[in-house]
Structure 1
Amino acid sequence: MTQLHVLKVFVGEDGRGGNPLGVFLDADSWSAERRQRVAAKLGFSETVFVRDAARGELWIHTPAVELPLAGHPLVGTSWLLRREGVPVPVLRPPAGDVPTWTEGRDTWISARPEWAPEFDMHRLDAPAEVDAHPGAGPDEHLQVWSWQDEPAGEVRVRVFPTRMGIAEDEATGAAAIRLGALLQRPVTIHQGVASRIVVDPRADGTVAIGGRVEFVETRDHSAG
């Protein structure tokens, strides 16, 4: 029996939204096959398996594939390690070193956009069109967005990463990194039901993303 920590990442200002995340803090001996099997069984959009907490080394799996980098898993894991008394300045997913820090209530990471999965990014004319979008086919990786308030940097987004085994994501950090690289200006993303992602492109070519994390529960999990 091992422990599974469940969080919500990129929670909205009103406490709604946030993408569920599962994190195993002691998974150094787990094979890739076992990790993928457990991630598929849990059904979260991503599950994190920490290899070495003190060094921030970890693996990330969707229900269908392993990822070199993903946004909400890294933000959530950084927050959880700090909560557990093991704060780290850098996380180390397979893609490379990812700095992490806190500002007020938000937890942040900064990563190179080319490390994030690619998305077909479609700009629509209005938030209502984003809300009415029918979704993606069975093998797509689609992000639709529109300005909600362009002068204020407010963006409405939906993401359909069906290629990864996810019909629609509530909050997608990797897509936010890609959108920040495209827009090259600070923005606040409003995604899904009520999730909030703050995005800040940096002069060195990286894109920082941040948001609120909330603890949901810790529960025992069978070996799987």
Structure 2
Amino acid sequence: MTDYDVLRVFCAPNGGYGNEIGVVRDGSRVPGTEERRELAAKLGFGETVFVDDPERGVLDVHTPAGRPPLAGDACVGTAWLLDVPELVVPAGTVGVRLDGEFTWIEARPEWAPPHTLRHCADAAEVDALPVPAPGEEPGGAPGEGQVEAPGKRPGLYAWAWEDEPAGRVRARAFPGPAGTGEDEATGTAALLLTASLGRALNITQGTGSQLLTAPQPGGWVEVGGRVRLER
């Protein structure tokens, strides 16, 4: 079996929650796209990262849905692991900074896979949303405050203010038929929500993951979180 690290990304303050990802530090050991797809499926993580150049931070990320141009968990986790100033992904060059217990990436909203953003009335409404059955489209028809992604909806990002003046948000994500029933932490959706609202956010997603965001000059957005090495 190819050596790989397991990281938990967007953890709560106690180190729990977040998403597990796999990182193959020496991507040359799995050189082909089909071999990488097979290994990613075997490992079973939401995102499996193959590092093709650790000094430049060149990444190839595989998810159950394919190879995204930008993957939030993968970028935040691998940036922490490699300790590099930037990452190179299919969408472009992602800025990186480490700030105490948080690792931050800076990317453009248009690089993120599309999500449908649904503004719910309150956190209780977010919590009450049912998890879609396998193969079922999440969320149904657009509701008030819902921003439709272009083309076929790959999933739903439902959110509500917990404390609007403080920028505190409650959110849940449902990737839909192409992915799992519910995603515990979704960095790219947080990036899109931040761009839509135009303000810094402190997001609690899923059962307890924490994602921090902040808009930056020139249309860029930062997304940050805690990373923990599982093994």
Alpha-carbon distance in 2 for matches of 1:163, 1:130: 20
- Tell me the equivalent position of 2:35: 34
Please state whether the residue corresponding to 2:89 is helix, strand or coil. Answer: coil
1:207 paired to 2:199: no
Q: Bigger shift: 37-46 or 145-154?
A: 37-46
2:66 match: 65
Aligned with 1:80: secondary structure? helix
State the partner residue of 1:85.
none
Moved over 4 A (4+): none
Match of 1:168 in 2: 182
Would you say the 8 A contact 1:36–1:66 is kept in 2?
Answer: no
1:148 and 1:39 mapped to 2: Cα distance?
A: 36
Which of 83, 105, 126 is the equivalent residue of 2:122?
A: 126
CA distance in 1, matches of 2:199, 2:71: 21
Question: Helix, strand or coil: the match of 2:125?
Answer: helix
**Equivalent residues of 1:41, 1:63 under 8 A apart:** no
CA distance in 2, matches of 1:91, 1:40: 24
Name the amino acid aligned to 1:13: P
Q: What TM-score does the superposition give when structure 2 sets the normalisation length?
A: 0.88
Aligned ranges for residues 100-115 of structure 1 at < 5 Å? 100-115=96-111
Partner of 1:220: none
Do 1:16 and 1:193's aligned partners in 2 also have CA atoms closer than 8 Å? no
More strand by share: 1
Q: Is the 8 A contact 1:155 1:188 kept in 2?
A: yes
One-letter amino acid of the structure 1 residue matched with residue 202 of structure 2: T
- Partner of 2:27: helix, strand, or coil? coil
Gaps of 5+ in 2: 138-153
Counterpart residue type for residue 124 of structure 2: A
RMSD across aligned positions (CA)? 1.3
Inter-partner Cα distance in structure 2 for 1:47 and 1:160: 19
Q: 1:117 aligns with which of 113, 117, 128?
A: 113
TM-score norm. by structure 1 comes to 0.91
State how far apart, in whole Å, the 2-side matches of 1:110 and 1:199 are: 10
Q: Does 1:149 align with 2:163?
A: yes
State the one-letter code of the partner of 2:67.
E
Percent identity of equivalent pairs: 50
Please list every run of 5 or more consecutive structure 1 residues that lacks an aligned counterpart in the other structure. 83-87, 218-224
Number of residue pairs the alignment of both structures matches: 212
Task: Give the alignment partner of residue 203 of structure 2, picking from 185, 189, 206.
Answer: 189
Contact 2:168 2:203 in 1 (8 A): yes
1:17 equivalent in structure 2? 17
Per mean C-alpha deviation after superposition, the further-off stretch among 130-139 and 67-76 is 130-139
Deviation at 1:163, TM superposition (A): 4.1
Shift of 1:138: 3.1
Instruction: Provide Cα deviations, 1:50-97, integer angstroms capped at 9, x if missing partner.
Output: 111111001111123111101111000011113xxxxx1110011100
- Is 1:138 the equivalent of 2:136? yes
**Are residues 1:179 and 2:175 paired?**
no
